[in-house]
Structure formats: C-alpha cells, structure tokens
Amino acid sequence: MLAQTPHAFAPLRSLSLSLCGRSCLLTLLLSLALLASAAHAQGNGNGNNGNGNNGDTGNNGKPTKPNPKDPAQNYMEIPPNSSGQEGGVCRAQGRCFRRTLTCPAQCSKRKPRMAKKVKGCFIDCSKCETTCKFRKPNCEGYGAICYDPRFIGGDGVMFYFHGGKGENFALVSDSQLQINAHFIGSRPQGRTRDFTWIQALAVLFQDHTFVLRAKPVATSAWNDSVDAMVMEWDGAVVSIADGEDWVSADGEVTAERTAEANAVRVAVGRMVEMDVRVAPIGEEERRVHNYRLPEDDAFAHLEMQFRFKNLTDGVEGVLGQTYRPGYTSPVKRGVAMPMMGGEDRYRTPSLLSPQCTSCRFNPPASTSSI
C-alpha cells in the first residue's frame, strides 16, 4: 500500500550528531561516554534505556526527546518561527545547555519532504550548531553499525564483532522486537578469521518481518544512483514511490527514502527507527585494510544507525545488550580493534529465526517455527 502519510503514528525524530572524522572519534567518544555516565548517575536508573521514554513527554504525550542518551540530540523541539525555520532548545548539560538553535533557511526542516533533493536540518547540542545534511546513518553516533562491522553501543563504547561469513546473528533481542543480521565476508588465504560485513537485516515484531537487503553488485557495475537496496514486508517487496512514504497496511511500519537511492529511514512500531544505507567497499578501503576481496564483487553491504524507543532492561543481542541499564562493556579500551565476543549466544539458524541461546523475543505461537 502506498500512502502519503508523513505522520502515520509516531513522529520520526531527526538524528543530529554531526559527522566526525575518524581522528576526532576518540575525543567524541570520550566526551559522550562521560556525559552518558553522568546522565546515568543523575537518576536514569528507572530502567528506561530506550529513547523518548523517560517520562519526559510533550503536551500531547509524545516523547519530545530525540534521544536522551545522546547529548548531541538532547533538545526540545520548538515550533517553526514565522519564516518556517524549525529549531530546538538544548537540554544536555554542557556549553549548549538552554541554547536555542534555529535551523538555517536553506534547510528549515528537520525532516523535509523530498528528502532525496532537500537536505534536512541537524541540530547538534554538543557543538551548539545546526547543519544541513542528507539524512544518513551517522557511523560515529550511538547505535551505529558500519564498516567491517564496527559498532557504537548504547553506552557509547566502540567495538568490533566479526560474527562469521554466511552466518546470522541477533543484533537486538527484546520481548517485543528482534533484529537479526546476515553476515557476508571473505577469508583471504593464511588468515585465521573472516572479514565480515552485514548484508541484510530482519526486524521481527509481532508476527511480522521487515527485511532490508543489499543486492550483490559487481565492482564495475556499482553506481550510487542505482538502487541496490531491497526491502520486504512479510516477504513481499516494498517499493517506495518518489517523494512518498511507504506505510504498512496496519500502520506499524513506515519507510521513506533519504537519498536518491541506497538510503532509507524505516520506523517499526514505536520501537525502533533506523537509517540504513547500502555502501560498496571501495578501492581505498580494500587497499588500506588489505581485504584481498574478489575483484568482481563490490561487497555491497549495509551501514545503519538505530534509535530505540522502548527497550526493556533485559534487552539482549550484540548491540542490544549495550543498552541495558548499568551495562559494563567487556571490551578492551584503548586498542585499535576492541573485540566483542558472544557469537555462540547470538547466532540464529536463519535471518528470520528468533532463536538463539540468549534471545528473548517470543513471536506469537503461530509463527514460532524456525
């Protein structure tokens, strides 16, 4: 079903951490970690670890915080001024506290229509600035998974999880929701492990599935203007018309393009919103990391950033566990590639299976087959 329903059930929130080069990542993560732990110490221990669910709601009961765990995004939305420029008032303690940030005239809205052509406004309450950007996963933000998969946890801690080539793992498993990922990869001769990337995602909720997949593309055929993203709702291909939102028949899922091709934003229930993009592995990346991949395969894979809205305290999964209140990351700090284990706890028999040793999602009985 196609429908032009921008606000079918829940306002989609903008992401607003601005992009940060790898060189400033450490500084950024350090400050984020400090701020996040400060927020925890300030009585965030009521168990609400998702975003927008800390009892901090606007006048119509909808959450007004894009993501209280992410200081850069911690602002209260304010109505557009008479020129139509939206804005926000920063709430995170720090140098932007209580500052009003107004979107530039060139990108007056956080979530513009025609997102392929019009940049969105990003409010950044860690830098006290607003910038115009196409909405894409921010690989340095909370809940991001990019590259050979490198995660930024809900606790702000960066880690790598290799998984295994051809295997599937639960990224998030909670009572109402599970998100599995399919890993592709390659093992050059003489290496002891696979280089891996995430090729597909499956969101399982109620008795539904929403799948996002990167199509295999030959290196020579890669063109960022040609869509290599496939989406499926309960097994049927979802196509999104130009400038429209796609909404599932029951209104639980919305999807929209955030670029001409290869980038979408998907929201499922009131549980998760994600920016997902398809990326190839470029020449430079191959050389720097010495992946030694087959030349004829672009290894099209997904880069993503999740924003969760209603996780429980016991949330599981490679990424999900890092959103638990009081979670202490087991990964080594201060090393170039901090590793997260847990393959055996989070491996699922297939992309669509809810089953893993530590999984918590219980689909309705009728669909609980493997």
In the complex, the residues that contact ligand NAG under the rule CB under 6 A are 81-83, 85, 102, 175-176, 223, 225-226, 270, 310, 312
Q: Which is nearer to ligand NAG, 81 or 367 (CB)?
A: 81
Instruction: Between 226 and 249, name the residue whose CB sits nearer to ligand NAG.
Output: 226
Burial of 168 (0-12, 13-18, 19+ CB in 10 A): buried
Please, are residues 183 and 197 in contact by the beta-carbon 8 Å criterion? yes
Count of CA atoms in the C-beta half-sphere (13 A) of 274: 24
| Distance in angstroms (rounded) separating the CA atoms of residues 215 and 227 | 9
Measured from the CB atom, is 52 or 342 closer to ligand NAG? Answer: 52
User: Please, what is the minimum distance in Å from the beta carbon of residue 281 to ligand NAG?
Assistant: 18
Minimum gap (Å) between residue 221 Cβ and ligand NAG: 9
Would you give the end-to-end CA distance of the chain in angstroms?
A: 28
Residue closer to ligand NAG (CB basis): 82 or 366: 82
Tell me the C-alpha to C-alpha distance, in Å, between residue 207 and each of 180, 220, 306, 349. Answer: 15, 39, 21, 18
Using DSSP, state whether 25 is helix, strand or coil: helix
Q: What CA–CA distance (Å, rounded) separates 52 from 68?
A: 7
Residues 80 and 325: their CA atoms lie apart, in Å, by 35
Give phi and psi for 89, each to the nearest 5.
Answer: -110, 120
Tell me whether residue 218 or residue 226 sits nearer to ligand NAG (CB atom): 226
Closer CB to ligand NAG, 291 or 308, in the complex:
308
- Other Cβ atoms closer than 10 A to 189: 5
